[in-house]
């Protein structure tokens, strides 16, 4: 059996870490579920150079919300119902996390991509990532506002699926890439309206 390795990660958020996916311009769509909140969300992520915009549509029970998270040289803001709210860096601090790599498996297919499956344990929950190198994106290209729900790992691959299980083994959080479309993204997409 493989020797388990422990990864200590301290993530210091700065404006430069909000610059996502410098080598990719286009649109990524994703779906997420959060069983604890009974929430399902769809996410459309626009990337261009050091600019990122995530349009999020969420349904939790009877409550529906739509908002955007925009990150660029101006900062990090949430735009909802015509209001722009700056997001404080301290709110995104992921802090020190310790996760143990339990297993790895290469050549696994997930969501249409050849992936490496990695299973991690943080002392309470188990998180499985299906990571691909086929997109030109990496784990750290995911905006911190989204990574808050994900154990930080040391990987060059991009997760096309993430699945978190509680201590009882029940799936409590999932995130799936639905599509990745390299395309031109207009600068106006990052306006705070």
Are the CB atoms for 158 and 138 separated by under 8 Å?
Answer: yes
For the range 83-88, what are the long-range contacts, defined as Cβ-Cβ under 8 Å and sequence gap of 24 or more? 84/192, 87/145
- In whole angstroms, give the CA distance from residue 43 to residue 20: 16
And the tokens for 79?
């735009």
pLDDT (tens digit, 9 = 90+) per residue, 104-144?
999 999 999 999 999 999 888 999 999 999 888 888 777 76
Q: What is the full per-residue pLDDT of the chain (193 aa) written as tens digits?
A: 332 222 112 122 222 233 344 478 999 999 999 998 899 999 999 999 888 899 999 999 899 999 998 988 888 888 888 788 887 766 655 555 678 999 999 999 999 999 999 999 988 899 999 999 988 888 877 776 666 667 778 788 899 999 999 999 999 999 999 999 999 999 999 998 7
CATH numbers and ranges of domains, the chain: 5-182 (2.50.20)
Q: For the chain, what is the HEC assignment?
A: CCCCEEEEEEECCCHHHHCCCCCCCEEEEEEEEECCCCEEEEEEEEEECCEEEEEEEEEECCEEEEEEEEEECCEEEEEECCEEEECCHHHHCCEEEEEEEEEEEEEEEECCEEEEEEEEECCCCEEEEEEECCCCCCHHHCCHHHHCCCCCCCCCCEEEEEEEECCCCCEEEEEEEEEEEECCCCHHHHCCC
Are the CB atoms for 173 and 33 separated by under 8 Å?
Answer: yes
- In whole angstroms, give the CA distance from residue 153 to residue 59: 28
The pTM score is 0.78
């Amino acid at each position: 059996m493989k020797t388990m390795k422990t990864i200590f990660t301290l993530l210091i958020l700065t404006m430069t870490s909000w610059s996502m996916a410098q080598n990719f311009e286009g649109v990524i769509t994703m779906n997420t579920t959060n069983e604890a909140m009974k929430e399902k969300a769809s996410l459309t992520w626009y990337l261009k150079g050091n600019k990122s915009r995530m349009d999020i549509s969420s349904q939790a029970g009877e409550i529906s919300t739509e908002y955007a998270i925009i990150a660029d040289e101006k900062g990090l803001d949430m735009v909802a119902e015509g209001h722009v709210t700056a997001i404080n860096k301290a709110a995104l601090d992921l802090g020190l996390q310790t996760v143990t790599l339990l297993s790895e498996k290469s050549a696994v297919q997930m969501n249409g991509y050849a992936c490496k499956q990695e299973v991690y344990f943080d002392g309470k929950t188990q998180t499985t990532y299906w990571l691909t190198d086929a997109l030109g994106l990496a784990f750290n290209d995911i905006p911190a506002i989204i990574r808050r729900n994900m154990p930080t790992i040391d990987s060059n691959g991009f997760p096309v699926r993430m699945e978190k299980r509680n201590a009882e083994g029940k799936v409590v959080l999932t995130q799936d890439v639905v599509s990745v479309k390299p395309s031109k993204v207009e600068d106006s997409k990052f306006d705070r309206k």
